[in-house]
Amino acid sequence: MQKDYYHTLGVAKNASKDEIKKAFRTLAHKYHPDKKTGDEKKFKEISEAYSVLSDDKKRAEYDAYGRVFSGGGGRGGFEGGFDGFDFSGFQQGGGFDGVNLGDIFGDIFGGFTRASVRGRDISIDLELSFKEAVFGVERRVLLTKTSVCHSCKGNGAEKDSGVETCSVCNGKGKVHESKSSIFGTFTSVRACGTCYGTGKVPKVKCKACKGARVLRNEEEVVIRVPSGINDGEMIRLSGGGEAIPGGESGDLYVKIHVHRDTRFYKEGNNLITTLPVKLTDALLGNEYSIPTLDGDSITVNVPQGVSFNEIIRVRGRGVPSAGGRGDLFIKVTIDIPKKLSKKSKDAIEALREEGI
């Protein structure tokens, strides 16, 4: 049975190209298989109809003979065209004799913009002491990775030789390739492999990287750890990952592992420590010398009659931050003797008699 492409698209036989295009776009949005209202069979039918009616030569053949002789339509099948066809590389200006593919399929496929070329990210682990995590530290790590060539600074040219316009892409950094399908001829765009998308090639290739612009070697990376970082946090060094010619370097991600300290722990910008005091000092009060993370010691006055777990606050001895240092909180615990001499027992009995 002869196919009526005009009926398939719902247009008159004297419809203009714009009317045909508009009808196809509306139906394509409605019947695309990825949509809820999608119908794969119907979508193939309207695509086949459009591939014929959008082409002046094919449309003339169809109007005269009811079929197309020049290929690309009216053969009753879909011969590998749209199913599984990758539109991601097509330039928005290419397609069916000036018809903008991005305009027709943009909403369906999300456009035809080419993703920016980028190097691989790298992830490493870094172990810190508790003190290093509190005050911050600078670490130097030796990594083996692909980096921008230090000799040519990434342009691929030997020193003082300079670069020139790429003859393959004429300095545009991209090349066009044409492919034929059931819809007609599609133009795809890719980065020029000769100049790596830069439009420039070296006059004399760099001896270090052989003109590749990047080189795999050992590189020392400086990692500046900020004060107050927590265990499990990640530091991102933009551009610290793998480099690729003609594109951006990936990022370096540093995962922090903080060792526990036997004396201190952290709550926000404050440091917490524990001070065991004698029972007599808890009753009568006394002074104690407390070591700090700064490396010195401070004298703390334990007040008379201090309670178990009572907090003594020392300002400005906590974690450094942009708003100033936090505080040091000293939690008092009381050592209760397990064994008492007769003299001690008699003294405590005397306290008991006094109601203490």
**CB under 8 Å, gap of 24 or more: what pairs does 260-264 form?**
260/130, 261/129, 261/130, 261/131, 263/291, 264/130, 264/293
Torsion-angle region of 102 (φ positive above 0: left; ψ -120 to 50: alpha; else: beta):
alpha
Give the pLDDT of residue 259.
Answer: 96
Q: CA-CA-CA-CA torsion for 180, 184, 185, 187, nearest 10 degrees?
A: -110
In this predicted structure, what is the pLDDT of residue 317?
Answer: 95
Strands (E), 192-233: 200-202, 214-225
Determine the pLDDT at residue 70. 55
pLDDT, residue 289, reads 95
Q: Of 55, 77, 78, whose CA–CA distance to 185 is shortest?
A: 55
Residues near 54 by Cβ (< 8 Å), separated by ≥ 6?
Answer: 17, 20, 21, 24, 96, 97, 99, 184
What domains are defined for the chain? 5-82 (1.10.287.110), 117-160+207-259 (2.60.260.20), 264-353 (2.60.260.20)
Q: What angle do CA 255, 256, 258 make, to 5 degrees?
A: 155
Residue 93's pLDDT is 38
The answer to whether 104 and 24 are in contact (CB under 8 A) is: yes
Residue 181: the pLDDT is 63
What is the reported pLDDT for 331?
97
pLDDT computed for residue 39 by the predictor = 84
Instruction: Quote the CA–CA distance of 178 and 188 in Å, as a whole number.
Output: 6
CB within 8 Å of 266: residues ≥ 6 apart: 130, 134, 228, 230, 272, 319
Give me the residues of the chain with pLDDT under 50, please.
72-115
